[in-house]
Amino acid sequence: MSNIENKKVAVVTGASGGIGKATVEHLIQKGYIVYGISRNPKVIPELHTIAADVCDAQAIAQAMAQIYREQGCIDVLISNAGYGISGAVEQTEDTAAHQQLEVNFFGFFHCVKAVLPYLRAQKYGSIVAVSSVAGALAIPFQAFYSASKAAINSLVLSLANEVRPYGIRVSAVMPGDVRTGFTDARQKAEGGAVYGERLERSVASMEKDERSGMRPEYVAKRICRVAERKHPRPFYTVGPKYRVFTFLAKILPAKVYNYIVGLLYAK
C-alpha cells in the first residue's frame, strides 16, 4: 500500500527541537509527509504531530498504528528522542541511571518494536537511530549517557541482520558536539569533595565544545542522506574531527585511546 499523495512517509521522534526539529524541516523540504512524535509537540508548518512519550510502549504502538492507518505506509523511522545526564558513576542515583537508559535506549527499542510489523508487511523501510560519538568513545562523567548510546549501537548491529531478509535497512548516526538545547537540558549531579573539581572541569569542557559545535541542520542533512541509502553502513560518524576519533578507537588498543579520552575529559 502507499499513501494517496504517493509521497514517502517519515516518522521522527524527539521532533520538537534541536536535531529532531531540523530533521523534520529537512524532510518536509524534500517532499516527505512527516510525523513528529514528542512529549510536548511544537507547531511546525506541514508537520503532523503526535503527543507521546517514547518510554510509553503502548502510546508509541498506538502512534505507529495511527500513522500507518492514515498513510498506508511508513518509509522511514528516525529515532532521535533522548537527553543526557552527567556525574560520577559512584554518585549517580539509581533512578537517574535507569531513566537515562529508559529514554535513550528503551525509547528506541519501543519505536523499533512498534514500527517493524508495518515495515515487514510492506517489505521495505529504513530505521535510523541518532546515537552519538559517546557511544564509541566512553566519556568520563557521562558514563550512563555513553552506555545508552553504546547499547543503541549494539541493538542496531543485531537488528540489521535480523531484518535484512525483509528489505529493512538499519543504521546509527553518531554526531559529535552539536549546538542544541541538549546542553542546557543536561541533568547534572554534584561531585562533592571527591570528584567535584574534575567533574566541573569535565562538564565545562564538554559544554564549551557543544555550544561551539555543529549546527543541527548539518547533522539533519546527513541523517536524511543515510535514511535514503539503499545499502547503508551500520554506523556514520558526523563531523570530520569526530571521524578521526572513531577511527582511532578502531585501530588503537582500548587502553591507549581510553587514556587519551581521559586526558581530554577527566584531568
Question: How much is the pLDDT for 267?
Answer: 80
149 catalytic? Reply is: yes
- Cβ neighbours, 10 Å, residue 250: 8
Exactly one of 118, 132, 148, 149 is catalytic; name it: 149
Q: Which amino acid, 177?
A: D
212 catalytic? Reply is: no
**Taking residues 184-189, what's their average pLDDT?**
91
% of the chain residues with pLDDT over 90: 90
pLDDT in tens, 33-63: 999 999 999 899 999 999 999 999 999 999 9
Q: Where are the domains of the chain?
A: 9-265
pLDDT in tens, 106-138: 999 999 999 999 999 999 999 999 999 999 999
Residues with Cβ < 8 Å from 144, sequence gap 6 or more? Answer: 85, 89, 92, 96, 97, 100, 101
Task: Evaluate if residue 169 carries a pLDDT over 80.
Answer: yes
188 catalytic? Reply is: no
- Measured in residues, the chain has a length of 267
Exactly one of 145, 195, 257, 265 is catalytic; name it: 145
Q: How far is CA 81 from CA 38, 130, 135, 251, in A?
A: 8, 8, 15, 31
d(CA 38, CA 51): 5
**Taking residues 168-173, what's their average pLDDT?**
98
pLDDT in tens, 97-113: 999 999 999 999 999 99
Exactly one of 8, 16, 146, 236 is catalytic; name it: 16
* pLDDT averaged over every residue in the chain: 95
Question: How much is the pLDDT for 1?
Answer: 45
pTM comes to 0.94
Architecture of domain 9-265: 3-Layer(aba) Sandwich (3.40)
Question: How much is the pLDDT for 82?
Answer: 96
Exactly one of 126, 131, 171, 202 is catalytic; name it: 131
- Which comes out higher in pLDDT, residue 236 or 6? 236
% of the chain residues with pLDDT over 70: 98
